[in-house]
Structure formats: structure tokens, C-alpha cells
Amino acid sequence: MGRRDWSGLPDELLTKIGQYVSGHFDMIRFRSVCRRWRHSLPLSHTNNWHLQLQITLLKEPKPDYRIRIPLPFYESYDPELEAESSPYHTVPSSIVKTTVCIINQSSLLKLEETQQEGKFRIINPISDIPIKEFPKVLNLLDYPIMEITRGYICKISHSNVLKAVILPEYDDKVCMVLVLCDHGRLLLWRNGDEHMKEISNKFRYDDIAVYKGHFIAIDRWGTVSFVDSSSLKVVQYTPPVLSGGKKKNLVVCSEQLYVADRYFDRARTSQNPYGKWDPSVVDFKIYKLDEDWGRWIEITSLNDQILFLGKALNFFVPIKELSGCNKGNCIYFKGDEFIGSKSHGVSVFDLADRRIGSILSFPGCSDMLCSPSWFTAN
């Protein structure tokens, strides 16, 4: 059979096919076929995540957060939350899409889209440190690419944004944005809103995610709740983890919900908040939600998978997808090392022997996050 001239497809068929192109890399390949295909699918089709939203942050009266609950936690009112006295803040906000992918079956990278058409920032998926060893021009069409997950960066004036998730997840139109800010606050923006609204709740949250088409948040006691975008309230979905860990991360994989609970070498208090004097991680526990029985089940082994806990993205990767990596059952996370060191601030926890340390102390583990050998930097 001779070669087909795919450039001759009717315009209406190209438009129909383009409607099903959701991934940025698939879109690049689609546009690379020929000039007609390129003009049938504008790059803005999937590269419109630099949304400049002029919104207003509504400052509601502060409730009294002084609550007492059984050990192991005591949550006290944080006086820093009272420092902002203005009832309104106009905050220009932008949303930037990021993609974690495996390139050439060897390098795990995060690509952050820029306002320049077709250009990305290449960064470490754990520490979010730019990887400078790459050449100025890298043709992604020359290498096989596997997309692992997507995330979003939301920038808001007067607020330290820790994480942002959107709904719908894989669409060009942003309808809702849930933001996790410092001190565990939740802010919600819905399409058409003139301001971001704070979710009124006494609890403070460690992480947010999208699960089965809904926003979820996990508080510092390990209780997962749905965030109701209509009532601006949270609805409890799971019992608390109550494992004694001090920071929870949500991980959604194949419609299964996991919690990574990390243990620190000192207590978590409002007088010594995390983020200012970061404590050292000394242990991890992983839990999987059993929805049938409404309980958390501890996972003692990840088998041949690796769990990555990034600054704004948490995800699993099977070791078979990363050539040269033969050590699974580990957690990669942002450690307490100096961010400019050779480890790029990444640490590893081995679930088998409970060993924890810099990524450099685990032979071979750092190769997938470093400058790869399959190109020569310009």
C-alpha cells in the first residue's frame, strides 16, 4: 500500500478531529502534519491557560479559629490573618498550565507553558527548580513523550498560593478554580464571579485535588471533604486518617484516592508554622480509601511504582516507564536540603527499609530528574 496524502482530508473532517485533540503534545503533532492541518487547529486551542482574570478577593469577617480537639493536634488562632484590614483587594490573577511527562523513556520533567507560542519552561517536577542544562531549542517531536499528569499555577496578589486545581480538568474553558493559600485557606473563583470567595470553615487544609469531577480538600486531621461550589461549604466525605502524621497530601490515581501522611521531627504549631522553619521529614505512611466500607487502609508497599510528591502535583509512575530506574516502592519529595545543591532539594523515602535521605544517597535514582544523556546542550 502506497503512502497516503493526509493533507487532502476535508476541512470539516479536520475540524472534527481537532475537537478530540486535548493534550498539548498531541496538538503539536497534529499541527506538524502539514500547513492545512496547522491552520485548521490554532495553537490557542490548548494553549490559552495564561488567563488574566481581574478579580476581587472578598475579606469576610474573621471567625474565631481557637478550637480544641483531642491529641495529636492543637489548632490556635493565627494573628497574622488579622493583619489585613482592607475589606477588598483587587488582585490580577493568571492561570498557567503545567504538564509532567516522560521524555525518551528516561527523563521525568515538568513543562510550564509560557505566553510565547509553543515555548515552555523545563523545571524539576518535585522542587520546581528550572533545569538549565537543556538546550535553548528542543524539538519534542524527535522524542517519544508520555504525559503523566497536568497541573496549574495560579498567581494572586496579596496571597501566597500553594496549589490550584480547576474544573473541568481537561477542557479549554475554565469554569471554576479552587486555590489553597497559606495558613490552609481555601479560595474559590467561578466563571462570572467578580471576586474570589473564601470557603468559610474553621478547619485548615493541607491539600486539594479533583476527584471524580468534584473539588476535594483534606484537612490537617486527615478528613477529606467535598467543596460545594454553590453553597461555598465543605461536606465531609471520609473519616479522618488519624495516623499521627502532621501533613497530608492527596493523590488521585485511576479513580482511586490515596493519602500520603508525613511525619516530622517536631510538632506543628501556629507559633512555629511550616514554611518558615521547615522541620525534617522522618517517616511516611500511605493510605488508600476503601469507598465500600468508608475507611482508610494502610498501604505498606507500592511494589513497582514510585510516588512523587511535588510542590503542586502528586502522582504515581510505574518504574517500567522509566528506563534505567530499577528501584520502585519509593517516595520522592521536596526535602530540607539546600535547594541549590546537586540534589535540587529532592529527597527519597524507601518504604521497604524506611530509609530516608537525599536523592544522591540512592544510586541511580537521580538520573531521571537530571540533565539527560540523549542530547548535547547548545
pLDDT band at 106 (very low <50, low <70, confident <90, very high): confident
pLDDT number for residue 98: 86
pLDDT tens for each residue of 275-284: 445 678 999 9
pLDDT number for residue 257: 97
pLDDT number for residue 136: 67
- Residue 4 CB neighbours (<10 A): 8
Of 79-88, 97-106, 245-254, the poorest mean pLDDT is in 79-88
Residues in the chain: 378
Which regions of 59-143 does DSSP assign to beta strands (E)? Answer: 88-103, 107-113, 120-123
CB-neighbour burial class of residue 127 (10 A; exposed 0-12, middle 13-18, buried 19+): buried
pLDDT band at 70 (very low <50, low <70, confident <90, very high): very low
pLDDT at residue 330 is higher than 60 = yes
pLDDT number for residue 284: 96
pLDDT band at 44 (very low <50, low <70, confident <90, very high): low
Contact 368, 341 (CB under 8 A): no
The better pLDDT of the pair 210, 6 is held by: 210
**Sequence-ordered list of residues with C-beta below 8 angstroms from that of 26, at least 6 positions apart, any chain:** none
CA-based nearest residue to 241, from 206, 287, 204: 287
Q: Which three cell numbers stand for residue 49?
A: 491557560
**Average model confidence (pLDDT) across the chain:** 76
pLDDT at residue 272 is higher than 50 = no
pLDDT at residue 326 is higher than 90 = no
CB-neighbour burial class of residue 63 (10 A; exposed 0-12, middle 13-18, buried 19+): exposed
Contact 187, 196 (CB under 8 A): yes
Q: Is 255 strand, coil or helix?
A: coil
pLDDT band at 49 (very low <50, low <70, confident <90, very high): very low
Give the full edge-to-edge strand order of the sheet including 224-228.
205-211, 214-219, 224-228, 233-236
pLDDT tens for each residue of 73-93: 323 333 333 334 333 333 436
pLDDT at residue 303 is higher than 80 = yes
pLDDT number for residue 306: 94
Integer Cα distance of 196 and 179 in angstroms: 9
Integer Cα distance of 128 and 110 in angstroms: 8
Amino acid at 108: L
pLDDT at residue 57 is higher than 60 = no
